[in-house]
A and B are shown apart, each in its own frame.
Chain A
Amino acid sequence: MPRDLRIWLGGGFILFLILVAMFAPLLAPFDPLEQDLMAATAAPGVEPGHWLGTDSLGRDVLSRLIYGTRIALTVAFVAAALACLLGTTLGLLAGYYRGWVDAMVSRLVDIWMAFPPVLLSILLVAVLGAGLTSVIIAIVVIDWTRFARVVRAETQQQARLEYAEAASALGMGHGAILWREVLPNVLPVVLVLLSLEMGIAVIVEAILSFVGLSVSTDTPTWGGMIAEGRQIIYQAWWVLVFPLGALFLTVLAFNQLGDGLRQWLDPMLKR
């Protein structure tokens, strides 16, 4: 696929999700929490108004799907941004200062890599107590390494280049060199990683909801819907299909956006 198409499709879908999340109350045909046991597990289109069917408590799938974007996007943006901030900072420091800072960060990354990330996130959320904040903290604590690894390598390369040496010859301090010379050159890579990380964060949230550790089961989340759908899969496949499809498209969108950005920034990176 051409790069511009990737960026437009990916970015467009994410924009669409943002709008859906913002205007959820206007868009949703039902209250996502409203139960209607008489209309439980109705197939799509069977009960009037329930276009995508209802779940085992008779709640409207479409409405829950629409409200679910809120949690998904909150986690995507907040968790990815924080992970990016932490990881990039550590990566910059490790790549620039080398020595013991580098040794520490690299060792930490090594240790982190030895944990299955899903297990670690489940463990962390169990420790912190279920809830949105815990989910975000867990994602940040686990995924900062993605940024740190790449940024460290990139910084090492950049710091070796002439402009960094020139800047240091001009009497610029380390902080200024890092901030003004190295960071802008590392930024394109970080941007690509950030986009990919948002997709990952959405998945992790869904996994934690699936295991029953994310936000309270009342709040509509895609992962929660998927977990319920998995249980009643033989009676009501639609409870699983739609959130799964939404998750699929969202992850794909963040990925296409990231890939498109990578191709777009590549000539700049190669400069």
Chain B
Amino acid sequence: MPLSIILSRALSALLTLFGVMVVVFVLVRVVPGDPISMMIAPGATDADIAALRAHYGLDLPIWQQFWVWFKQVLQGNLGTSISMKQGVITIIAQRLPATLELAIFALIMAVIWGGFIALVSTAWRGTWVERAIDNFNGIMLAVPDFIWALTFVLVLGVLVPVLPISGRSDPSIDAGLATQFYILEGLARAKFAFVWDVLKHMLLPACALAFPLAAVIGRVLKNTMMDVMVQDYITLARIKGLSSIRILLQEALRNAAVPALALTGVQFTFLIGGTVITERIFSYPGIGNLAIDAVINRDLPLIQGLVLTFGIIFIIVNMAVDALTVWLNPRLRHA
């Protein structure tokens, strides 16, 4: 890809990020109700309150507050959480790994499941199998993660209790990990029982997140595969005597994957957005759940930090998808 395009994309991403910051800032400033009132001990004097205000910079005009905040953010300082009395960066760094592991696990499940759907319905195209999958796919697509999450809680957590429905790991297991990347670190240290427990906790929320995405991937991939299957090179591959499975995987899937990939990227950002409510439902200790708490507690610095985190993740995912698309498409790579 030419340098100019890369530059203009990066610039556009930065502009978007700046826009996100402005919107968050403005939004949060119009919250009625004084965040300071939550923090004052009974019997605090007006002077105490004013001091607190000054401490959080709430006494300045709004554009100055933005400027102060903006400069701080650029320096990597997101302030202190009002409700948790800790650095916002520290809190987010604590919680972000949980969300990342969940989202990536869900993504992997969605890709495998969606790819499987597409392959099966392409292989059996024109039969009842294809129609059945299409209908099932339609339901998976129409019903959002919120409903799937609650359904799983109810069915697999309570009625037929086979999987845990709350938290990230069994509190009685102390794995003594140094980081919050339970799976990564657990694997690295060969604590497989612990990893297994974490995976079990992740399975239902990840399924809820993965279902709609799997449906999208399945549908798009199937459509592009169907287009590819009538191409001359597929016919020639058949004449070369290659097996159907090899044709499907080696010839068709590769060509169909690139268009499906771009869409998967966009949808993955939706999946990350979905972690907010899904984590809530499963009491999962990630940044989505934290964000709802932050809003309910009117914790301005924390809200700002979290929304900014989501914005940055969004932009990184988009750039990664762009890069991957170019890398996977030999035509673009050499252009």
Q: Chain A residues in contact with chain B, CB under 8 A?
A: 1, 107-108, 110-111, 113-119, 122-124, 126-127, 129, 199-200, 203, 206-207, 210-212, 226, 230, 233-234, 237, 240-241, 244, 247-248, 251-252, 255-256, 259
Q: Is the CB of B277 within 8 A of A127?
A: no
Q: Is the CB of A116 within 8 A of B272?
A: yes
Q: Is the CB of B147 within 8 A of A203?
A: yes
With both beta carbons as reference points, the residue of chain A lying nearest to B17 in the complex is identified as A114
B16 in the interface, Cβ–Cβ < 8 Å?
yes
B43 in the interface, Cβ–Cβ < 8 Å?
no
Complex partner residue of B154 from A110, A113, A237, A252, CB under 8 angstroms: A237
* Distance to closest chain A CB from B218 (angstroms): 16
Q: Is the CB of B147 within 8 A of A248?
A: yes
Q: Is the CB of B16 within 8 A of A119?
A: no
A263 to B75, CA, bound (A): 52
* Distance to closest chain A CB from B56 (angstroms): 18
Stretch at the interface among B115-123, B134-142, B201-209: B134-142
Q: Is the CB of A207 within 8 A of B146?
A: yes
Say which size band chain B's interface belongs to.
35 or more
Residues in A whose Cβ lies below 8 Å from that of B273: 115-119
A108 to B147, CA, bound (A): 29
Query: What are 28 A-B contacts defined by CB distance under 8 Å?
Result: A1-B135, A107-B15, A107-B16, A111-B23, A113-B269, A114-B311, A114-B314, A115-B23, A115-B307, A115-B310, A116-B288, A116-B291, A118-B274, A123-B27, A123-B303, A123-B307, A124-B27, A126-B295, A127-B27, A203-B146, A207-B277, A211-B296, A212-B296, A226-B150, A247-B147, A248-B147, A248-B151, A252-B139
Residues in B whose Cβ lies below 8 Å from that of A247: 147
A-B contact count (CB 8 A): 124
Interface residues of B in 1-34 (CB under 8 A from A): 12, 15-17, 19-20, 23, 27-28, 30-32
The residue in A118, A251, A252 that gathers the most chain B C-beta atoms within 10 A of its C-beta is: A118
Residues in A whose Cβ lies below 8 Å from that of B139: 252
User: Which applies to chain B's interface (DSSP): helix, strand, loop or mixed?
Assistant: helix
B226 in the interface, Cβ–Cβ < 8 Å?
no
* Distance to closest chain A CB from B320 (angstroms): 15
* Distance to closest chain B CB from A210 (angstroms): 8
* Distance to closest chain B CB from A146 (angstroms): 12
Q: Is the CB of A107 within 8 A of B159?
A: no
* Distance to closest chain B CB from A135 (angstroms): 14
Interface residues of B in 137-183 (CB under 8 A from A): 138-139, 141-144, 146-147, 150-151, 153-154, 157-159
User: Which applies to chain A's interface (DSSP): helix, strand, loop or mixed?
Assistant: helix
Given contacts A111-B20, A119-B310, A126-B296, A251 and B147 within 8 Å (CB-CB):
yes
B281 in the interface, Cβ–Cβ < 8 Å?
yes
* Distance to closest chain A CB from B326 (angstroms): 20
B49 in the interface, Cβ–Cβ < 8 Å?
no
* Distance to closest chain A CB from B63 (angstroms): 19
Interface residues of B in 54-68 (CB under 8 A from A): none
Q: Is the CB of B298 within 8 A of A126?
A: yes
Residues in A whose Cβ lies below 8 Å from that of B20: 111, 114-115
Q: Is the CB of B153 within 8 A of A230?
A: yes
Q: Is the CB of A122 within 8 A of B295?
A: yes
Complex partner residue of B292 from A115, A122, A259, CB under 8 angstroms: A122
A115 to B16, CA, bound (A): 11
Residues in A whose Cβ lies below 8 Å from that of B78: none
Residues in B whose Cβ lies below 8 Å from that of A206: 146
* Distance to closest chain B CB from A234 (angstroms): 6
* Distance to closest chain B CB from A207 (angstroms): 5
Residues in B whose Cβ lies below 8 Å from that of A259: 138
Q: Is the CB of A199 within 8 A of B158?
A: no
Q: Is the CB of B31 within 8 A of A127?
A: yes
Interface residues of B in 284-317 (CB under 8 A from A): 288, 291-292, 295-296, 298, 303, 306-307, 310-311, 314-315
* Distance to closest chain A CB from B249 (angstroms): 30
Given contacts A119-B310, A123-B27, A127-B32, A114 and B276 within 8 Å (CB-CB):
no
Q: Is the CB of A244 within 8 A of B288?
A: no
Q: Is the CB of A233 within 8 A of B272?
A: no
With both beta carbons as reference points, the residue of chain B lying nearest to A118 in the complex is identified as B276
Residues in A whose Cβ lies below 8 Å from that of B154: 233, 237, 240-241, 244
A124 to B139, CA, bound (A): 30
A241 to B280, CA, bound (A): 18
Q: Is the CB of B277 within 8 A of A118?
A: yes
Residues in B whose Cβ lies below 8 Å from that of A107: 15-16, 19
Given contacts A124-B27, A247-B147, A234 and B295 within 8 Å (CB-CB):
no
Q: Is the CB of A119 within 8 A of B150?
A: no
